[in-house]
């Protein structure tokens, strides 16, 4: 596409290979865009909330993913339509910024688009709608600020952090053991958090999954885990107060670098060669022992001979440790990586409180735990689950819960979950709409209706009659003036989310509103779509 000027200097657009392009303009473009985006959003509606359904996605090569996480569903759906892709991006940005609320944000954007379409049908200009939505979003975020409650995250043994993590986990596959998972998420984040700076370094939280066992066997380790075992079955399985030697050279006698032959003509020659090799091995093991090391981690393999000698000298060792893990271990334990046996010195050893090998069930799978490392607060979560599909989903769920706890540390304002906040905002926007003059008031009112979509979807997914249920709690919110009344999705007998302990981060809610409004505004401002014809 290029811009050209006619003889009077007026600009016009030349579309290259015109016949191969497809062009949708004006109202038609608006409607087509809205329809595509709405279709994607409608798909996510049934996944919202604790009673939401999961989606099964099959990749072209047959891999199966079962998930409830909005961002993952949209990413794996491989949406082609250009406008619908904007919603995929929307959920991704919520995931990057906040980490949770990825389904909610798309459902909200879908509801806004639905309302926008009605307004377009009434003949209201898209820009007026966009402006009205922006104004309404401002009112809603202000309402969130007025109803949010700052909590003391450390009170009652981090009670609120656990509640927020539990709310996030409640809608996922792992809800069966949500308390355990929430506990683990809180522990993991608090162990690496810098509470003064209100900062959390995610690099220090490692999540690994091992199939076998059940979700309840998921454990938290304050240290690192490497997916290896000690090189000899008879080595000691547990070392307290470990002094770790990290080697990047193999436990083998040096090999000549150039090609040449070695002739052995007599039994004595062979005996001498064997002895020499033995001396090498003994020397290597002695150097390790002399440095004071009581565990050796090696990036390479060792000869059986060396393995035997190490066992014989009570020096437990691990071989074939990956390069990345070597670096992590070196950082965590404060060890210096040693590339040659001649360079081993006591100062180069790292320290850890305990190193032990653990095995799982009958599968004989083993891992090595390195706990209480001297130099780092790194922690690991070991997820167990019946199959890789469950482990993968549990990993995604934990990621969400960890993000929620991190957000709470950064900003400890909470609002009610279960659609209570959206309903409170909707009421505020509706009241404000009455004061607004002009056409914009229609858009503002439509925004209020769209906000109700979240409690509606939640109650529908929970098996209530949505309109009936939501109008009831809306009435209660207005008469009682309590913005914590929401959908009792789990049938606990109260609509008060404060009593149920269903909390969400205020920042996450604000972010959802702002991001959804931004994308809807963007879609509304598109009035011309030029795309290659084969895209349809
Ligand atoms: P998202 O990916 O957007 O986090 P979820 O499927 O996790 O979507 O659903 C989150 C919604 O479910 C939020 O609106 C939250 O308030 C609500 N929710 C979570 N737990 C409960 C609960 N126990 N009762 C009522 N609503 C809940």
Q: Are 136 and 116 within 8 A, CB to CB?
A: no
Residue nearest to atom 26 of ligand 1 (CA): 418
Side-chain half-sphere exposure of 174, counting CA atoms within 13 A: 35
Could you tell me the fold of the domain covering 19-150+416-535? GROEL; domain 1 (1.10.560)
Query: How far, in Å, CA of 409 to CA of 191, rounded?
Result: 12
What letter does residue 290 receive in the DSSP assignment? Answer: H
pLDDT confidence of residue 198: 83
Name every protein residue with a CB atom under 6 angstroms from any ligand 1 atom: 47-50, 52, 68, 70, 100-104, 167, 170-171, 417-419, 454, 458, 487, 489-490, 502, 504
Cα torsion 210, 215, 217, 221 to 10°: value is 70
Residue nearest to atom 3 of ligand 1 (CA): 101
* 504 CA: nearest ligand 1 atom: 16
CA distance 422 to 44: 18
Q: What is the pLDDT of residue 154?
A: 78
Domain ranges of the chain: 19-150+416-535, 223-256+263-385
CA nearest neighbour of 91 among 77, 74, 108: 74
Largest Cα–Cα separation, the chain? 108
Catalytic residue among 24, 72, 102, 166: 102
Q: Which two tokens stand for residue 501?
A: 């302990």
CA atoms within 13 A on the CB side of 509: 32
Which residue among 171, 469, 483, 513 is best mutated to probe the pocket of ligand 1, counting the most ligand atoms within 8 A of its Cβ? 171
| 103 assigned to active site | yes
Domain 223-256+263-385 has CATH 3.50.7.10: yes
pLDDT per residue rounded down to tens, the chain (536 residues): 677 888 888 888 777 766 677 777 778 888 888 888 888 888 889 989 888 888 898 988 888 888 888 888 888 888 888 888 888 888 888 888 888 888 999 999 999 999 999 998 888 998 899 999 999 999 999 999 999 888 887 777 788 888 888 888 877 777 778 889 999 999 999 888 888 888 888 888 888 888 888 888 888 988 888 888 898 888 888 999 999 999 998 888 877 777 777 788 899 999 998 898 888 888 988 999 999 999 999 998 888 888 888 898 889 999 999 888 898 888 889 999 999 888 999 999 999 999 999 887 666 778 899 988 888 778 899 998 888 888 888 898 898 899 888 888 888 888 988 899 999 999 999 999 988 888 889 999 999 999 999 999 999 999 999 999 999 999 999 999 888 899 998 888 888 888 888 888 898 899 999 999 999 998 888 887 777 766 55
CA angle 196, 200, 202 (to 5 degrees): 165
User: Among residues 171, 170, 184, which one has the least CA distance to residue 216?
Assistant: 184
What integer pLDDT is reported at residue 355 of this predicted model?
Answer: 92
Percent helix / strand / coil, the chain, rounded to 5: 50, 20, 30
Distance of alpha carbon 504 from alpha carbon 148, whole angstroms? 10
Strand order across the beta sheet in which 350-360 lies: 223-226, 365-373, 350-360, 238-247, 295-298, 317-318
Distance between CA atoms of 472 and 469, rounded to whole angstroms?
Answer: 5
Contact call for residues 132 and 446 (beta carbons, < 8 A): yes
DSSP letters along 94-126, please? HHHHTSS-HHHHHHHHHHHHHHHHHHHHTT--H
Distance between CA 509 and CA 280 in Å, rounded? Answer: 65
Compute the Cα dihedral for 386, 392, 393, 397 and give only its sign. positive
| H/E element, 437 | none
CA of 42 to the centre of ligand 1 (A): 17
Rounded CA separation 250/246 (Å)? 11
Core vs surface per residue 243-276: b (16+ CB within 10 A) or e:
bbbbbbbbbbbeeeeeeeeeeeeeeeeeeeeeee
Measured at the alpha carbon of residue 382, what is the angle toward residues 95 and 73, in degrees to the nearest 5? 30
Helix, strand or coil, per DSSP, at residue 208: strand
In sequence order, what DSSP letters do the residues of 349-404 get, joined into one string? -EEEEEEEEEEETTTTEEEEEEEEESS---EEEEEEESSHHHHHHHHHHHHHHHHH
Report d(CA 245, CA 399) in Å as an integer: 33
- CA of residue 131 to ligand 1 center, whole Å: 29
Q: Name the residue among 225, 218, 232, 241 with its Cα closest to residue 367.
A: 225
Atom 25 of ligand 1: nearest residue by CA position: 418
Which residue is catalytic, options 95, 229, 400, 488?
A: 400
Beta partners for residue 239, in sequence order: 355
400 is catalytic: yes
Catalytic residue among 67, 72, 103, 517: 103
Task: From the candidates 24, 69, 100, 218, give the one annotated as an active-site residue.
Answer: 69
């Amino acid at each position: 596409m290029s811009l050209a000027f006619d003889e009077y200097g007026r600009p016009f657009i030349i579309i290259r290979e015109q016949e191969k392009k497809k062009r949708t303009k004006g109202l038609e473009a608006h409607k087509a865009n809205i329809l595509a985006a709405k279709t994607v959003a409608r798909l996510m509606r049934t996944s919202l909330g604790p009673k939401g359904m999961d989606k099964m996605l099959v990749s072209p090569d047959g891999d199966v993913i079962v998930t409830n996480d909005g961002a993952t569903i949209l990413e794996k759906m491989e949406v082609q339509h250009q406008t619908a892709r904007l919603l995929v991006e929307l959920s991704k940005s919520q995931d990057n910024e906040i980490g949770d609320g990825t389904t909610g944000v798309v459902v909200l954007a879908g509801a806004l688009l639905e309302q926008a379409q009605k307004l377009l049908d009434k003949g209201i200009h898209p820009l007026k709608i966009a402006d009205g939505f922006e104004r309404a979003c401002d009112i809603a975020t202000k309402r969130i600020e007025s109803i949010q409650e700052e909590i003391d995250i450390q009170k009652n043994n981090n009670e609120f952090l656990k509640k927020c993590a539990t709310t996030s986990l409640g809608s996922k596959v792992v809800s069966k053991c949500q308390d355990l998972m929430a506990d683990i998420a809180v522990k993991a984040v608090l162990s690496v958090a810098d509470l003064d700076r209100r900062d959390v370094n995610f690099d220090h939280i490692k999540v690994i999954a091992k199939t076998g066992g059940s979700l309840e066997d998921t454990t938290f380790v304050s240290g690192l885990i490497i997916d290896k075992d000690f090189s000899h079955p008879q080595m000691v399985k547990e070392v307290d107060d470990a002094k770790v030697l990290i080697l990047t050279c193999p436990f083998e006698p040096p090999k000549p670098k150039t090609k040449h032959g070695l002739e052995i003509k007599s039994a004595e020659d062979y005996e001498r060669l064997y002895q020499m090799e033995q001396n090498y091995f003994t020397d290597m093991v002695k150097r390790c022992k002399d440095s004071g090391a009581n565990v050796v981690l090696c990036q390479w393999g060792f000869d059986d001979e060396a393995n035997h000698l190490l066992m014989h000298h009570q020096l437990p060792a691990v071989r074939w440790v990956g390069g990345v893990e070597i670096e992590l271990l070196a950082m965590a334990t404060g060890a210096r990586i040693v590339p040659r046996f001649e360079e081993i010195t006591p100062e180069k050893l790292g320290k850890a409180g305990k190193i032990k090998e653990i095995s799982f069930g009958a599968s004989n799978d083993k891992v090595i735990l390195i706990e209480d490392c001297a130099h780092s607060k790194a922690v690991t979560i070991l997820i167990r689950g019946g199959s890789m599909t469950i482990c993968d989903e549990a990993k995604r769920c934990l990621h969400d819960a960890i993000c929620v706890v991190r957000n709470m540390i950064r900003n400890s304002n909470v609002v009610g979950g279960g659609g209570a906040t959206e309903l409170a905002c909707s009421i505020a926007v509706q009241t404000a709409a009455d004061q607004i003059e002009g056409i914009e008031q229609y858009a503002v009112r439509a925004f209020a209706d769209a906000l109700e979509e979240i409690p509606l979807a939640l109650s529908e997914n929970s098996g209530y009659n949505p309109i009936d249920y939501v109008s009831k709690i809306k009435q209660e919110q207005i008469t009682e003036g309590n913005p914590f009344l929401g959908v009792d999705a789990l049938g606990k007998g109260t609509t008060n989310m404060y009593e149920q302990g269903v909390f969400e981060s205020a920042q996450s809610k604000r972010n959802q509103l702002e991001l959804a409004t931004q994308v809807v505004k963007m879609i509304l401002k598109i009035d011309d779509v030029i795309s290659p014809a084969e895209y349809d």
